[in-house]
């Protein structure tokens, strides 16, 4: 890697606080924004990032991530570059339904890499767009401190790519160890 990465999961939103068993719809019928707790998480993340000399902030264009990035950017004095490749997984026909229905669509977790719900994505799809993003950033920048504000699965897959994890079983084990909580930051160098 030519750059140092800071991965930040967006702050808590209404779905996480009030509808934790519901899959995010896409496109969102109305913006899913941060709760007061989510705004505080974003501000706390900004305080932790103040001395990290962040050069560039990239964010998912989905409102909850964008809102998190804007709070952080304002606090540390950086503009935000929105990128749709950093969006959360598109759960297709399962969006707005119970998470259990989505989970039952797969016979095992590893199947989420290859089996795609109708009108949605699998983890390979998300990984491909994240890889395209990283390849572009690594080609364009060198020796930069880059903050990426995104979503749980997107960041977990990004971390696996940055750590060059190839084996799917290892990838899944890595997910359990590295799943970021809302407002949590992880540095990858």
Q: What's the pLDDT at 157?
A: 94
Q: What's the pLDDT at 33?
A: 96
Write out the chain's pLDDT in tens, 189 residues. 899 999 999 999 999 999 999 999 988 888 999 999 999 999 999 999 999 999 999 999 999 999 999 999 999 999 999 999 999 999 999 999 999 999 999 999 999 999 999 999 999 999 999 999 999 999 999 999 999 999 999 999 999 999 998 888 887 877 766 689 999 999 998
Q: What's the pLDDT at 177?
A: 66
d(CA 118, CA 26): 13
Domain-by-domain residue ranges, the chain?
Answer: 4-188
d(CA 149, CA 10): 6
Is the Cβ–Cβ distance between 26 and 51 less than 8 Å?
no
Q: What's the pLDDT at 176?
A: 64
Q: What's the pLDDT at 27?
A: 85
Is the Cβ–Cβ distance between 61 and 27 less than 8 Å?
no
Give the burial string for 91-112 (b: 16+ CB within 10 Å, else e): bbebbeeeeeebeebeeeeeeb
Q: What's the pLDDT at 175?
A: 77
Kindly report the number of other CB atoms within 10 A of residue 23's CB atom.
23
Q: What's the pLDDT at 36?
A: 98
d(CA 9, CA 86): 11
Domain range 4-188, its CATH number among 3.40.50.1240, 4.10.95.10, 3.40.50.150, 1.10.599.10: 3.40.50.1240
CB < 8 Å & 24+ apart, contacts of 102-111? 102/23, 109/172, 110/168, 110/169, 110/172
């Amino acid at each position: 890697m030519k750059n140092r990465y800071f991965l930040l999961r967006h702050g808590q939103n209404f779905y996480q606080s009030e509808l934790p068993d519901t899959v995010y719809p896409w496109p969102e019928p109305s913006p899913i924004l941060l709760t007061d707790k989510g705004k505080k998480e974003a501000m706390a993340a900004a305080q932790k990032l103040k001395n990290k000399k962040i050069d560039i902030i990239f964010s998912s264009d989905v409102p909850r991530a964008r809102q998190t990035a804007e709070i952080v950017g304002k606090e540390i004095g950086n503009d935000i570059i929105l990128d749709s490749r950093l969006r959360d997984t598109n759960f297709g026909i399962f969006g707005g339904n119970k998470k259990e229905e989505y989970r039952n669509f797969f016979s095992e977790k590893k199947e989420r890499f290859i089996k795609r719900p109708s009108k949605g994505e699998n983890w390979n799809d998300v990984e491909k767009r994240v890889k395209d993003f990283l390849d572009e950033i690594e080609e364009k920048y060198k020796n930069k401190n880059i903050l990426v504000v995104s979503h749980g699965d997107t960041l977990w897959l990004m971390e696996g790519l940055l750590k060059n994890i190839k084996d799917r079983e290892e990838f899944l084990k890595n997910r359990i160890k590295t799943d970021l909580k809302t407002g949590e930051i992880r540095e990858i160098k």
